[in-house]
Amino acid sequence: MEKQKIKDKKLPVGFTFSFPCAQTKLDEAVLVTWTKKFKASGVEGMDVVKLLNKAIKKRGDYEADIMAVVNDTTGTMMTCGFDDQRCEVGIIIGTGTNACYMEELRHIDLVEGDEGRMCINTEWGAFGDDGSLEDIRTEFDREIDRGSLNPGKQLFEKMASGMYMGELVRLILVKMAKEGLLFEGRITPELLTRGKIETKHVSAIEKTKEGLKKCMEILTRLGVEPSDEDCLAVQHVCTIVSFRSANLISATLGAILCRLKENKGVARLRTTVGIDGSLYKMHPQYARRLHKTVRRLVPDSDVRFLLSESGSAKGAAMVTAVAYRLTEQARQIQQTLAEFRLSKAQLLEVKKRMRIEIERGLKKDTHQEATVKMLPTFVRSTPDGTENGDFLALDLGGTNFRVLLVKIRSGKRRTVEMHNKIYAIPIEVMQGTGEELFDHIVHCISDFLDYMGMKSARLPLGFTFSFPCHQTSLDAVWYPCNLDQGFKATDCEGEDVVELLREAIKRKEEFELDVVAIVNDTVGTMMTCAYEEPTCEIGLIAGTGSNACYMEEMKNIEIVEGKEGRMCVNMEWGAFGDNGCLDDIRTKYDQAVDENSLNEGKQRYEKMCSGMYLGEIVRQILIDLTKRGFLFRGQISETLKTRGIFETKFLSQIESDRLALLQVRAILQQLGLDSTCDDSIIVKEVCGTVSRRAAQICGAGMAAVVDKIRENRKLDHLDITVGVDGTLYKLHPHFSRIFHQTVKELAPKCDVNFLLSEDGSGKGAALITAVGCRQRELDAQQH
């Protein structure tokens, strides 16, 4: 770097490291074992990139960015591939020997993915270490192995590479001399010394013209006083040893070429083999013998042998250039996702702002303009176990509508028996008028009562209505603030929902019902869980929508008369942030989702953390990354332009730890997205980042609630249970874990248990109706 005057630059570095390494990525290589007489301690089992970086740091006078570690065979293949695109095999025949080739990804079980190809470093020097070459190993091979630094290892390399060739020749000459076949039986100390005959000597001896002359010189230096016949015999020994090497390498290369031919399913293979290495380059006969034998072994192939002019360095630089481009791309993707990765300080800020909005919703003078509405529900107690009777419950929330008959029995063995039927709500009804919506609901109730044979009974009814409403009593005037979750029935807004239902029942003229309670689904969830677990005083829905409720002190709810006891407050926290207080953490993707929604500017918190919108956020990010050429080959398909293709269930499937990339890709292909395995990795990361943020900001909201309850009760430490329902919480592989962890971190003085509501909010509506009926009877007795 000093010579090139580039010490001040931080350049991407490619590292050719010609030893067996285990790699999980391009810029990591754990040395499996040293070969070729290397033995530096403390390196085997270590990542050589880390060791190199450490050494660079230790010097401290320049910086480097190691992007790729390549084996010299890979470097050779890439170098030759630059000149000949057919090159798909790389071979080194030098001090050591090895090969690499392009294998179909579908055959590489150690790597996820099944399309395209990947370069495999065969490390064929270790061929035979399992005993498979015992029948052709000679006594001389065994002697070389015994005297090596790594006995029993790299047996093929010891038979075929340049490093051991001279030594093999020396051992054969010693034996022949001992048996009186050479040098008149003379054995000198030089001839008995290891390393006295090198591969370069073998190459010199085998030269056609001056070979015998060279042989005489070399043997004279060893002090054996050779005759001309000795020189001829020694030349013959050298030829046998080097020819065996060429034959062995031809055979193993032949196996690779057959593999390529099979993979491609062609009758005749046309390919190029990139070669480097001193033995192949310097030995006068080696290359010719190798080519001839390969063509004899694989007659149905046209093989071109290409000598790597610039060794493996150019190839390593090319791999580095590609790695650098991909790293730059990965950096830009990470930069995009960084906005979704919230720090603890940011989450504490979200918690703090939620607390401010809670206070504003509870206070009489700020309630009107508060975004978090803190609506009183007139549910003043959780079930006590004395509830009894048959109740009808309706559950309207997402895209389905449930009618339930709930039989509650009190006494020693409390039981709740439920019968229910689910009805779909057609899109035209969801977005039609209020009258059409309630007529459809009553039609479904009628069908259910027929089905249960109970049309004659006048049953008490609880109605779970999962939309923001103002309530003045348990059953009286509710005004929806604004419908969300895909509903549009605008003429309902500001109307009394109970009246709308009663009028629709009257219009039907088939049955009578006693509407006792109207309940938000969060409250229903809290009540269902409280029936099992008395410490449950919070309800959370994390599904299509997102909302929470909890038991607040009456004295804090300024818009309701009375100071004693507690009342459940429906927070309607989905609208948190509608006043702009979350704008600093909203991304351009959140804004795009909001602009394309039915209720622009409303329910902003919900749009960042509920199942209905997460898929849309993901879609917006994927469109952006595709436009920038990082995904789907830069092609934005019609599918990707379609709103709502990424349902929460797809996110849950894609993020499942058990899913291999192939299955992720299959899901994307089902959605009509022509995805590669690399695309699948990116999509999986995008999904994970978006859902992680959702769980975290939902956890920050919950942390604000539990700390508020703790402070209300003037406790140093609070134990409390949250009843939870919703598909996102139930089905997503990581949401609940991240959510719990966030609550724990942000509200350390609270021990919060989470109880999954097993039978949705319908049972809760029936329990509230039962509690309401019990309350009504008590009131009647008192009057």
How many whole angstroms separate alpha carbon 497 and alpha carbon 480? 8
Contact by Cβ (8 Å): 373, 575: yes
Question: Among candidates 417, 496, 376, which has minimal Cα distance to 762?
Answer: 417
Contact by Cβ (8 Å): 469, 537: no
List the structure tokens of 631: 């995904």
Distance of CA 500 to the CA centre of its chain: 48
List the structure tokens of 668: 């994307």
Which residues participate in catalysis according to the annotation? 402, 466, 521
Cβ neighbours, 10 Å, residue 778:
10
Contact by Cβ (8 Å): 217, 189: no
Question: Among candidates 671, 663, 673, 627, which has minimal Cα distance to 647?
Answer: 671
> Bridge-partner residues for 161, per DSSP?
none
DSSP conformation letters of 538-567:
EEEEESSSEEEEEEEEGGG-TTSS--SSEE
Question: Among candidates 534, 461, 470, which has minimal Cα distance to 502?
Answer: 461
Please enumerate in sequence order all residues whose Cβ is within 8 A of that of 34, keeping only pairs 6 or more positions apart, or say none. Answer: 19, 40, 43, 44, 149, 150
Question: Among candidates 338, 20, 319, which has minimal Cα distance to 150?
Answer: 20
List the structure tokens of 720: 């409390």
How many whole angstroms separate alpha carbon 549 and alpha carbon 538? 6
How many whole angstroms separate alpha carbon 25 and alpha carbon 29? 8
Question: Among candidates 600, 642, 599, which has minimal Cα distance to 620?
Answer: 642
Q: For residue 755, what is the DSSP state?
A: E
H/E stretch holding 164: helix 162-178
How many whole angstroms separate alpha carbon 677 and alpha carbon 668? 10
Please enumerate in sequence order all residues whose Cβ is within 8 A of that of 626, keeping only pairs 6 or more positions apart, or say none. Answer: 632, 634, 635, 636, 640
Please enumerate in sequence order all residues whose Cβ is within 8 A of that of 433, keeping only pairs 6 or more positions apart, or say none. Answer: 489, 491
C-alpha angle 519-521-524 in degrees, rounded to nearest 5: 70
Amino acid identity of residue 238, one-letter, is C
Question: Among candidates 490, 512, 493, 492, which has minimal Cα distance to 502?
Answer: 512
How many whole angstroms separate alpha carbon 71 and alpha carbon 124? 13
**Beta-strand pair 11-16/64-70:** parallel
Please enumerate in sequence order all residues whose Cβ is within 8 A of that of 587, keeping only pairs 6 or more positions apart, or say none. Answer: 339, 340
How many whole angstroms separate alpha carbon 145 and alpha carbon 158? 7
DSSP H helices in 554-712: 588-595, 604-609, 611-627, 648-655, 661-670, 677-712
Contact by Cβ (8 Å): 598, 486: yes
In three state form, how does the secondary structure of 486-534 look?
CCCCHHHCCCCHHHHHHHHHHHHCCCCEEEEEEECHHHHHHHHHHHHCC
Orientation angle between helical segments 72-83 and 313-338, nearest 10 degrees = 100
How many whole angstroms separate alpha carbon 556 and alpha carbon 553? 6
How many whole angstroms separate alpha carbon 353 and alpha carbon 347? 10
How many whole angstroms separate alpha carbon 762 and alpha carbon 782? 30
